[in-house]
Chain A
Amino acid sequence: MRPEDRERIQVEVTQRVVARYVEMSMNQPEGFMQTVVNDTVYHEMRRLDRATHNRKAKHTIGYYQDVRHKLLSGSDADQRRLLEGMARRFVAEVVGNFDERVYRLSTTMIPTGLGVLLNAMSPKRLLSLDHFRSSLANQISIQGATSQVRGLLDRGTLVVVPTHSSNLDSIILGYAVYLMGIPPLVYGAGLNLFTNPLVSFFMRNLGAYRVDRYKTAPVYKEVLKEYATCASEMGYHQLFFPGGTRSRSGQVEQRLKKGLMGTSLRAFIANHIADKARPNIYIVPCTLSYKLVLEAETLIGDHLSESGKARFIIDDDEFSRPKRLLNFFSNLLSLNDEIIVRFGQPMDVFGNPVDERGESLDPQGRPLDARTYISRDGVPYFDDQRDMEYTNELSHSIAGAYLRENVLMNTNVVARALFTLLRRANPGVDLYRLMHTGGRSSSFTMAELHTETEHLLTALKKLPVRPQLTALLQRGDIQEIVNDALTHFSIYHTQPAATRRGDHVFHQDRKLLYYYSNRLEGYDLPSVDR
C-alpha cells in the first residue's frame, strides 16, 4: 500500500467505525455506547486470560483495565473517545502488519521462500532452488477466464474469492496471480498461518495484513470489514475466502460468510457516492483443486468429530508440521501433479456476469447499468436491509460459480465410486458407523470399481450443472484413472485411503474416501442406491 494511503486508511477506518456506532446508538436505548465499550473490554480480557502472559499482553491488560475504570465515570463524549481509542488500536494493529516493502517483494519471494524452506528441511538437498521454482511454475495450471480477469485490472478493483481447502491455497494463489502478471492481492491471513516459524517466514511476505481470529469483539470485526471496504475503495485488489475457513468436509463451499462479502458492495456504493472515475468492483470466483489435500486427515477428522468438538480455528494440523509439508511437496513434485487454479467469469457486486469491458450483463446477456441497483432517481445511497439482500444474492451467484468451476480430480471420482460401492454393499447402515466399521466386505473387485467409476463419469458428463474434469478424466481411460488415484491414495496420507492387492481394492481410511468424494456433493447425481 502506498504510504499516503496507509495513513489515510488508518484515520478513515477509525472514523467510520466510530461513526457507525454513533449512528447505531441513535436508535438504541441510552447506555448503548457504554455497552459497546464494556463488551469490547470483556471480549479482549477473556482472550487475554487464555493467552500466554508476556510483557505485551500485560501491557494490553493494563490498557483495558484503564478503559474499564474510565468508563465508570465517563460522559457520553468520554465513552465515544474510549471507543475511538480501542478502534484505533485495532486498526493500527491491522494496518501495522502491512509492510510496504514486503508487499512489493512478496510474490517474487514466494517460490524462493518455499524453495529455501524445502531445502532447509530436506536432508539430502534433493531440490535445487531453480529446479523448485521452475517445477512449481509448471505444476500450477491456471485455467478459465484468465484473460478477462487480466483485462479488468485497469477497469476497476478485483476481489478474488476462491474456494478454500488448504492453507497452501493463499500461497498457490499468490503465486498464480504473480504468474498472470497481476499485482499482489491484499488479504487478511489468520494468525494461525504463522505458527510454523519457517512457514511464517514467507506467509509474512505474502500476507498483506494479519487477522487475529481469537479477537472476538464485534468492534474488531467492524474494523476488519471497514478496512477491506476502504482498501477496495482505494483500488487495491483483494483476496478473501468467502467460506470463512477451510472446507472441513471436502465439499465445495455452498454456504458463504456474508460479512466480508458485503464490503465489496459497500465499497461500490461509496465509490458511486464519491463519484469516483473507476467505481466498479469485480468479483472473481476461483477454485483451487488438488489431487491430494495437505490437511485432509485433520479437516475430515474435525468435520466428523462429535458435535461440539469441531473447531473453527485449527492451528495444529499438517500445515504446522514441517515433515508433512516436505512429504507433501516432494510427492507433488515427483508425481508431477498439477494444482489447478481456475477462474470463473467475473461478476459485478450483484452477481451479474460482466463482459470483457467490465460492463454488467443481465440474465439474457443484455448490457445493464449496475449503478441503478443502488440508486433512486439516479442518486446512489446506502440501505442496510437492501444491501444485505444484495449480498445474499451475490453469495448465491458465487456458490453457483463454484459448482461450475470446480475441477474434479480422478482422486475425487474414484473415491466417490469406491464409497458408493461401500454404501451400496451396506444398505441402511448409518454413515458414521459405516465409516467406523467398514461394513460387511473389506474389499471390492477392481472390475466393480472400474464399472462404478465409468458410470459416475458418464453421469457427471450429463449433468445440467456440472463440474470441470481434468484432462485425465476427459480422456476417460478408466484403468489409468483408477490406478493413478490408487497410487495417490497410498503415497502421502498416514494410512492409505484405499489399496490395491491383486484384483481387489481394499478400503482403509474411509474418512479420507468420504472426504475426497465430497467434492462431488452439490450436484444432482443419481443416489447411491441407484
Chain B
Amino acid sequence: MPENVGVIGSGSWGTTIAKILGENGHQVLLWTRRQELCDEINATRENASYLPGAKLAPGVMATTDLPRICETCRLIVMVVPSHGFRAVAHEIGGYLDGEHVLVHATKGIEQESFKRMSEILREETPVRKIGVLSGPNLARELADRKPSGTLVASHYDEVITRAQQALQSEYFRVYAGHDVVGAEIGGTFKNIVALAAGVVDGLKLGDNTKALLMTRGINEMARFGSAMGAKVLTFGGMAGFGDMMATCASSFSRNHQVGERLARGETLEEILEAMKMVAEGVKATRAVRTFTEGRGFSLPIVDAVYEVLYEGAPVPAAISKLMTLATGDEFRGLVL
C-alpha cells in the first residue's frame, strides 16, 4: 500500500533510498539542506552531484521543509552523516510524536559520547518506534538496480514490517531482526576494517591477506559488539559479514578509497581534503579507539588503523606489528 515516506538526507545513500521508495509507488519527500540542490533535483529528477545518472520516479519530491515532512509522513528514513545526526534529530524532534516510525540508515557512532544513532533518536525525539537499516548496500549498485539485500532491525515488529513493506523490491531484499545494537555496531565497525582492506588492496597484497584481515575483522567486531550488548550471530548476517564483504571488496567504498590512498603514502589531511564525501571509518576508528581505551578490549586491527590514521605510523610497520602478534584459539573471547 503506497504511503507518504520522508527521507531526511540527500547524499548518495539517501537519494538511493528515495529512488527505491519512489519506484515502489510511495509518495516520497526527500529533504535537502540547500535550496539549490532541492530545485535541481525537482527540475532534473536527478541528484547529479551525489548520484549522477539515477532518475527518480515522479513520486519523489525534494524539499527543504522539515516540518512538512514530519507533518505529511508517518514513516521517515534518516540518512544523515553521524556528525550532523544529533542536530537534525533535535530539529525534527519537535515535529514528531508517538505515531511516527523512524528508521535510520546511518553507519557511524557519535564521537564524544559514543552513542549509537538509535540512542540519539531516543534522546532527541519523542519517537519510540525506531529502527536501523544496515547491510551490504553500496548506493551506486542499488541505484543501478543490481540485486542486493539488507537488514532492518528494531525492537518493534511494526517498524520492521513497515520498513520491509516500503523498501522491499524486485532487486532489494529486506531481512528482519531485533538486534538493534548489533546492526548499528556492525555498520560502524566494518568501515574500520574497510579502511584496512583498502590498504591491503593498495599494496596489492592479495586475496589471502584480505581474507585474513576480514575474518579477524569480523572477530573483533563480534567481540566488541557482544560486549556492547549485541548478539554475536548478527555479525554473521547482512549487517556484519554481508556489509563487510561488500565494503572491503568495492572500490566504490569511500572507506576503501581512504585505505588505498594511505597505502600510497598520502597523509590523512591530504586525503580528507581531496574527498568530497565523508568517510565514516575515519571517525569510527577514533570513536571506537577512544571508547575502548583502558576498558580491557583487545582490538589489534582497530589499533593498527588508528595508529596509521592519527599517529602517523608507517603502513608497513603497522602490518608487521599485526603479523607478529601471538596467535591462539581462533574464537577466544567469543560466546555464541
Task: Tell me, rounded to whole Å, the shortest Cβ–Cβ distance linking A268 to chain B.
Answer: 12
Interface assignment of A368: CB less than 8 Å from any CB of chain B: yes
B93 A362 Cβ-Cβ under 8 A:
yes
> Which single member of A352, A371, A376, A385 contacts B156 (CB below 8 Å)?
A385
Give per-residue flags for B78-98: 1 if the beta carbon is below 8 A from chain A beta carbons, else 0.
000000000000100110011
A372 B98 Cβ-Cβ under 8 A:
yes
B156 A368 Cβ-Cβ under 8 A:
no
Task: Tell me, rounded to whole Å, the shortest Cβ–Cβ distance linking B191 to chain A.
Answer: 28
Q: Which residue of A lies closest to B90 (CB)?
A: A364
> Which single member of A362, A366, A369, A385 contacts B157 (CB below 8 Å)?
A385
Interface assignment of A147: CB less than 8 Å from any CB of chain B: no
Q: Which residues of B contact A362 (CB under 8 A)?
A: 93-94, 125-126
A364-B94, A385-B157 given; A376·B128 CB < 8 A: no
Interface assignment of A20: CB less than 8 Å from any CB of chain B: no
A352-B126, A373-B128 given; A386·B158 CB < 8 A: yes
Interface assignment of B40: CB less than 8 Å from any CB of chain A: no
Interface assignment of A370: CB less than 8 Å from any CB of chain B: yes
B126 A368 Cβ-Cβ under 8 A:
yes
Q: Which residues of A contact B93 (CB under 8 A)?
A: 362-364, 366
B98 A370 Cβ-Cβ under 8 A:
yes
A386 B157 Cβ-Cβ under 8 A:
yes
A390 B158 Cβ-Cβ under 8 A:
no
A369-B97, A385-B156, A385-B157 given; A364·B124 CB < 8 A: yes
Q: Which residues of A contact B129 (CB under 8 A)?
A: 386
Interface assignment of A374: CB less than 8 Å from any CB of chain B: yes
Q: Which residues of B contact A390 (CB under 8 A)?
A: 128
B97 A368 Cβ-Cβ under 8 A:
yes
Interface assignment of B266: CB less than 8 Å from any CB of chain A: no
A368 B98 Cβ-Cβ under 8 A:
yes
B126 A363 Cβ-Cβ under 8 A:
yes
Cα–Cα, bound, A348→B129 (Å): 17
Interface assignment of A375: CB less than 8 Å from any CB of chain B: yes
> Which single member of A372, A377, A386, A389 contacts B97 (CB below 8 Å)?
A372
Interface assignment of B122: CB less than 8 Å from any CB of chain A: yes
Interface assignment of B99: CB less than 8 Å from any CB of chain A: yes
Q: Which residue of B lies closest to A351 (CB)?
A: B128
Give per-residue flags for B92-130: 1 if the beta carbon is below 8 A from chain A beta carbons, else 0.
011001110000000000000000000000111110110
Cα–Cα, bound, A27→B15 (Å): 42
B124 A363 Cβ-Cβ under 8 A:
yes
Task: Tell me, rounded to whole Å, the shortest Cβ–Cβ distance linking B171 to chain A.
Answer: 30
B98 A350 Cβ-Cβ under 8 A:
yes
Q: Which residues of A contact B126 (CB under 8 A)?
A: 352, 362-363, 366, 368
Interface assignment of B68: CB less than 8 Å from any CB of chain A: no
Cα–Cα, bound, A393→B124 (Å): 16
B156 A389 Cβ-Cβ under 8 A:
yes
Interface assignment of B204: CB less than 8 Å from any CB of chain A: no
Cα–Cα, bound, A156→B12 (Å): 49
Q: Which residues of B contact A352 (CB under 8 A)?
A: 126
Interface assignment of B155: CB less than 8 Å from any CB of chain A: yes
A369-B97, A386-B158 given; A363·B128 CB < 8 A: no
Cα–Cα, bound, A372→B122 (Å): 16
Q: Which residues of B contact A275 (CB under 8 A)?
A: none
A386 B156 Cβ-Cβ under 8 A:
yes
How many residues of chain B get a CB closer than 8 Å to chain A's CBs? 17
B122 A363 Cβ-Cβ under 8 A:
yes
Interface assignment of A23: CB less than 8 Å from any CB of chain B: no
B99 A372 Cβ-Cβ under 8 A:
yes
Q: Which residue of B lies closest to A368 (CB)?
A: B126
A383-B158, A389-B155, A389-B156 given; A363·B98 CB < 8 A: no
Q: Which residues of B contact A383 (CB under 8 A)?
A: 158
Q: Which residue of A lies closest to B126 (CB)?
A: A362
Q: Which residues of B contact A373 (CB under 8 A)?
A: 97-99, 128
Task: Tell me, rounded to whole Å, the shortest Cβ–Cβ distance linking A281 to chain B.
Answer: 15
Q: Which residues of B contact A372 (CB under 8 A)?
A: 97-99
Task: Tell me, rounded to whole Å, the shortest Cβ–Cβ distance linking B166 to chain A.
Answer: 15
Q: Which residues of A contact B156 (CB under 8 A)?
A: 385-386, 389
A363 B123 Cβ-Cβ under 8 A:
yes
Give per-residue flags for A200-218: 1 if the beta carbon is below 8 A from chain B beta carbons, else 0.
0000000000000000000
A-contacting residues, B138-184, CB 8 Å: 155-158
Cα–Cα, bound, A229→B65 (Å): 43
Cα–Cα, bound, A377→B4 (Å): 13
B128 A389 Cβ-Cβ under 8 A:
yes
Cα–Cα, bound, A128→B90 (Å): 60
Q: Which residues of A contact B98 (CB under 8 A)?
A: 350, 368-375
Q: Which residues of B contact A375 (CB under 8 A)?
A: 98-99
Give per-residue flags for A343-363: 1 if the beta carbon is below 8 A from chain B beta carbons, else 0.
000000010100000000011
Cα–Cα, bound, A386→B161 (Å): 12
Give per-residue flags for A369-411: 1 if the beta carbon is below 8 A from chain B beta carbons, else 0.
1111111110000010110011011000000000000000000
> Which single member of B94, B128, B157 contacts A393 (CB below 8 Å)?
B128
Q: Which residues of B contact A369 (CB under 8 A)?
A: 97-98
B-contacting residues, A174-231, CB 8 Å: none
A363-B123, A372-B97, A386-B156 given; A350·B128 CB < 8 A: yes
Task: Tell me, rounded to whole Å, the shortest Cβ–Cβ distance linking B118 to chain A.
Answer: 12
Q: Which residues of B contact A374 (CB under 8 A)?
A: 98
Query: A373-B128, A386-B129, A392-B155 given. 4 additional CB < 8 A pairs?
Result: A352-B126, A364-B93, A389-B128, A393-B128
Interface residues of A (CB under 8 A from B): 350, 352, 362-364, 366, 368-377, 383, 385-386, 389-390, 392-393
Instruction: Identify 23 residue pairs between A and B in the complex whose beta-carbon atoms are under 8 Å apart, listed by A's number.
Output: A350-B98, A350-B128, A362-B93, A362-B125, A362-B126, A364-B124, A368-B126, A369-B98, A371-B98, A372-B99, A373-B97, A373-B98, A373-B99, A373-B128, A376-B99, A377-B99, A385-B157, A385-B158, A386-B129, A386-B157, A386-B158, A389-B155, A390-B128
Interface residues of B (CB under 8 A from A): 90, 93-94, 97-99, 122-126, 128-129, 155-158
Give the 5 A-B residue pairs with the shortest CB-CB distance, closest first. A373-B98, A372-B98, A362-B126, A372-B97, A372-B99
